[in-house]
Amino acid sequence: MSEHTEQVENDALGEYHETHEHHEHHVAPAWQFWGTYCFLLVMLFATVGAAFFDVHKYIPIPGMNIIVMLFIAILKATAVVLIFMEVRKGTRLVWLWAGAGFFWFLMMLGILFDYFTRTGVSVVKYPL
């Protein structure tokens, strides 16, 4: 029997060889998922609290409640992407695509803020 045929048969039996690269799948411990779940619950309550609490009284920046809630939303999205989607254990290409998604989000947010800061332009018209 040739060396290649023997190697293929051994691979089929589950024997590992030094010449082949084998990847192990890492299983995250349950405490990471439970910790992330608790973090997301705390951030949910923080978002609801920020909706009922007027931050503008203490920090005189227009729309400060929205800024606080967007910051909390970014924290929650980062936790989901890093832990549940397992990007933190991914390759450089996975990090590149995740970073591109966040970059795209920041671009869209920048365009939205640009519309809101223009004078004389009404983005949303509510009937009175």
| DSSP secondary structure code for residue 58 in this structure | T
**Amino acid letter at 91?**
T
Which three-class secondary structure state does DSSP give residue 91? Answer: coil
Indicate the range of 19-23, 65-69, 74-78, 84-88 predicted with least confidence: 19-23
Q: In angstroms, rounded to a whole number, what is the distance separating the alpha carbons of residues 78 and 98?
A: 10
Are 69 and 63 contacting, i.e. CB atoms less than 8 angstroms apart?
Answer: no
Q: In angstroms, rounded to a whole number, what is the distance separating the alpha carbons of residues 128 and 117?
A: 22
Task: Compute the chain's Rg from CA coordinates.
Answer: 25
Q: The tokens of 86 are what?
A: 């397992």
pLDDT in tens, 48-83: 998 898 888 888 877 788 888 989 998 999 999 888
pLDDT in tens, 92-117: 999 999 889 889 988 998 888 777 77
Give the number of other CB atoms < 10 A from CB of residue 127: 3
Q: In angstroms, rounded to a whole number, what is the distance separating the alpha carbons of residues 123 and 54?
A: 23
